[in-house]
Copies of this chain bind each other. A is one copy, B any other.
């Protein structure tokens, strides 16, 4: 997902209509994209700068934005439980993840979090992503290819609760129903001082995970939740938005101490 200025054949574009509707599409010479607001011919976009406005066949204005990580994350998740950009951002921060990191992830799911992890560890880091369900691996692979991040990721069709192949990794990221079963394997896979981050919706999961972390030599163990609330910002009528997601999940983090 390197940042570019000019829209080329084969590249992704986010066709932005308004706050509620936008389309992540791949530009293809000679083809067009159809929406309920008319169609858009890709040839009229090729060679233009990202950020360009254009009109559909029905005269409706779209802006051709360069997709960013947030767009790939949102669009990747149609078929699975949603992981929000806020949660992904916090996983990356509390996992100490950045360029050059080697990260183990489980489970892959549709690859939304995988995409984000790959994005942040570029160009020299690598993601080892475990998933037991083969059908999800295919979806994840497509989503990674779309974001052009597949080369940073090794998708592994293995049960992470049976063990992790890698050693001396920087961070282990868990987003699966039984994170506590992976904690001993994560300890073995992590380098000294390496970080673990686990994302879970229920109290039962965080209690079991925190206990497993404390029993297995982790320190700096903490759990929190993050509530995101949109604001309606209009002069004279500014107020928080009525609709809000009340809960996505709890984030637990820890670091490996050597025994």
Contacts and interface: CB of A to CB of B under 8 A. Distances in A.
Nearest to A84: B93
A256 B51 contact: yes
Q: Taking the full assembly, how many copies of this chain does it contain?
A: 4
B219 A224 contact: no
Which 10 pairs across A and B sit closest by C-beta, in order of nearness? A51-B192, A244-B246, A68-B96, A50-B193, A89-B93, A240-B247, A51-B193, A89-B89, A49-B192, A66-B193
Contact of A255 (B65, B69, B201, B252): B65
A249 to B, nearest CB: 8
A119 B98 contact: yes
A19 B69 CA distance: 32
Contacts of A123: 99-100, 123-124
Given A94-B85, A192-B51, A229 B225 contact: yes
Interface stretch (A28-36, A178-186, A231-239): A231-239
Contacts of A65: 193, 219-220, 255, 257
A251 to B, nearest CB: 9
A239 B223 CA distance: 11
Contact of A99 (B120, B210, B244): B120
A51 B96 CA distance: 15
Given A52-B258, A226-B227, A258-B49, A238 B207 contact: yes
Interface of A: 1-3, 5, 16, 19, 22, 49-53, 63-66, 68-70, 85-86, 88-90, 92-94, 96, 98-101, 119-120, 122-124, 168, 170, 191-195, 201-204, 206-207, 210-211, 219-231, 233-248, 250, 252, 255-259
B222 A235 contact: no
B246 A229 contact: yes
Contact of A230 (B99, B204, B223, B245): B223
Contacts of A2: 100
Contacts of A90: 86, 89
A246 B230 contact: yes
A32 B235 CA distance: 51
Contacts of A246: 229-230, 240-244
B1 A219 contact: no
A179 to B, nearest CB: 13
A240 B223 CA distance: 10
